[in-house]
Structure 1
Amino acid sequence: MTGETEIFVAWREGRQDRALLAIHGGPDWDHSYLRDPLSELGCRLLLPDLRGCGRSGRVGEYHPDGVVDDLVRVLDSFGVERADVLGHSYGGMVAQRFAITHPSRVRSLVVSGSSVLPVPPDAFEGWAERDALLAGREDPWQREDLTPDDVKAEAVAAAPVNIWRAEAMPGYLRRLEAVRFGAEWVRQLRAGTLVTPRLPDAAQRIAELDIPVLLLHGRYDMTFPVSLVEPTLRLIPRARAVVLEAGHMLHVDDPEGYLRALREFLGGAALEDGLELGGTRPV
């Protein structure tokens, strides 16, 4: 569309009564690391690359409000009035912002490997294994002239932090090889101009939406602590939680448990077996 960022969407037509909009994290990743196992669901599936990511357009400003506007256009382009919205990691915070600012477009919300509440500075205090994994690592975002290769190298280096089950690691590393990494967002992070998608009082505002909410989390998540799940449940009456024996990339560590939790939450629209992802297009 003229004057608007072109957003690339991988999609699969499924049951027309429900659509799942899945928002990736990073944010300088693309949607592809979420395809498996989401493509096994039977509902209609939309997997956009956020602006500046993957095969979507590059712009001058990377602000979460622009991302939300892009997602509205994605739903409009596919004729989806209301969607079940899932966001992973950074995408989990974008999904919350989308639900709060566009409540008429959201049927339910899945916060996957992310958090509604801010992460406190001492959230991981005393976790020796995490401390050991992070010990001595340089901050990769302090380098000059950051490139997509730098972002990819950091994703590979961080794999032991994000994957809990050793047997899942080889498949995860292969998955990373397929991701189209970028560096647009991290350059803003380095410049100190990156705006968080987390809105103030998000838990209260989500509770006021009165929609079903699923907190889908890994017990050994080293990015967003599992300790935030219980206090979030107390603040959002319609929220439920599923905690898997997994790390931050819980859909890779435990794909069967991940799918089971989603199918139980989404109901009949997601009970059927999925098909191959059937197409891609820009909007």
Structure 2
Amino acid sequence: MTDGIESGNADVPARAEDGVRLWTTRAGTGPPVVLCHGGPGLWDFLGDLAGALAARATVHRWDQRGCGRSQRVGPYSLARSVADLDTVRRHHGLDRTVLLGHSYGADLALRYALEHPGRVSGLVYVSGTGIDHRDTWRADYRRNLRAGLGPHLARWEELEARPERTGAEEREWCVLQCSADYAHREGALERARAATTPWFGVNAACNATLNAEVGREAGTPELRAACERLEVPVLILQGARDIRPHRMLDSLEAALPRVERTVFSGAGHLPWVEEPDAFRAVVGGFLART
């Protein structure tokens, strides 16, 4: 494994083969880890996670195509996203790396590992949506989301129903929705605001296109069979109080031949925020074994 601290270009944009600029940075010391943020259509909000791992690994972050500080240019597809992730890997001079993906980023990291297993030394799959069809869990998620919004539900529904939102309204809607991802309601809005600061705006076209493609792949025999062939070690992490149903990850765990799974009892969708010590210990142990 190449140690990322001695290779690549820190804080210099990577360029995909079609010329699109991808923001990326790195920090820390040790074996390389590349983070894949959630969304789709959001940007890297994993700076606190990178900081928690920086004593154990060289952590590489990036904004996906069309998001945040990367160039707002398509096309948007899973294949293009996998190719962009490979661009980031090569930009930093990494032969092999651990991938850590969160939410949609976990699904992107899984697709990359399925396509390029020889370039991945381990996969940390955090709060992803698994490989089952969305119809098996989507209704429960939406019900849990509304319950999690509590007193903010009416305002969220008002903003959700608007065919067009101003920039300020879009940010308010996003902050309200993200606040439901925290298990501990006290301070959830403040944490959601901090996670979306600085605010770069949601790329709605990216979100819709990639969500549709992930939805078409989910539940297919081909995806399950590919997971059954994957020999990369995988660590599945989830919060017990995530509003996404826990059963989403059961079939993924069953399909993978080399898998561990940890559930953080006091956490929601962002377990490194609500159980930082336990999260750091589990991920650190996995990195030591890969």
Aligned 8 A contact 1:151 1:181 in 2: no
The answer to whether the 8 A contact 1:87-1:93 is kept is yes
Q: 1:103 to 1:254 in 2, by over 3 A?
A: same
Please give the per-residue CA displacement for 1:207-256, whole angstroms capped at 9, x wherever unaligned.
3121111110011111x321233333222121110001211122222122
Look up the match of 1:275.
none
Aligned to 1:231: 251
Higher helix share: 2
Match of 1:85? Answer: 99
1:108 and 2:122 equivalent? yes
Determine which of 27, 47, 65 is the counterpart of 1:35: 47
Change (3 A) 1:155 1:145: closer
1:161 aligns with 2:180: yes
Once the two structures are superposed, the pairs formed by residues 165-244 of structure 1 within 5 Å of their partners are: 165-167=184-186, 169=188, 172-184=191-203, 186-187=204-205, 189=207, 195-197=212-214, 199=217, 200=220, 201-222=222-243, 224-244=244-264
Partner in structure 1 of residue 36 of structure 2:
23
Does the aligned pair in 1 maintain the 2:179–2:189 contact within 8 Å? no
Q: Given the two structures, how large is their TM-score scaled by the length of structure 1?
A: 0.80
Equivalent pairs counted in the alignment come to: 263
Matches within 5 A, 1:135-150: 137-138=156-157, 143-145=162-164, 149-150=168-169
Q: Which structure would you say has the larger RCO, counting Cα contacts within 8 Å and 6 or more residues apart?
A: 1
Deviation at 1:151, TM superposition (A): 4.0
Q: Name the CA shift for 1:180/1:258 in 2 (closer, same or farther; >3 Å).
A: same
| Aligned partner of 1:257 among 265, 278, 282 | 278
Q: Which residue of 1 aligns with 2:75?
A: 61
- How far did 1:182 drift? 2.5
Change in Cα spacing, 1:26 to 1:140, as seen in structure 2 (3 Å) is farther
Question: For 1:6, which of 17, 21, 31 is the aligned residue?
Answer: 21
Name 1:51's counterpart in structure 2. 65
Between the aligned partners of 1:126 and 1:209, the Cα distance in structure 2 is 28
Is the Cα–Cα contact under 8 Å of residues 89 and 113 in structure 1 kept in the other structure? yes
Cα-to-partner distance string for 1:124-167 (whole Å, 9 max, x where unaligned): 64997654346654385664455654442222111342000235
Distance 1:145 1:187, change over 3 A: farther
CA apart distance, 1:116: 2.4
- SS of equivalent residue, structure 1 residue 214: strand
Please list every run of 5 or more consecutive structure 2 residues that lacks an aligned counterpart in the other structure.
1-14
Q: Percent identity?
A: 25
Contact 1:14–1:44 (CA under 8 A) maintained in structure 2: yes
Q: Which moved more, 1:260-269 or 1:82-91?
A: 260-269
2:87 and 2:144 map into 1 onto residues whose CA distance is 43
TM-score by length of 2: 0.79
Q: Give CA deviations for 1:69-114 in whole Å, capped at 9, x if unaligned.
A: 1111111111101110111111111111111122221111111011
Measured in 1, the distance between the counterparts of 2:271 and 2:113 equals 23
| Distance (Å, rounded) in 1 between the aligned partners of 2:279 and 2:78 | 27
Q: SS at 1:114's partner residue?
A: coil
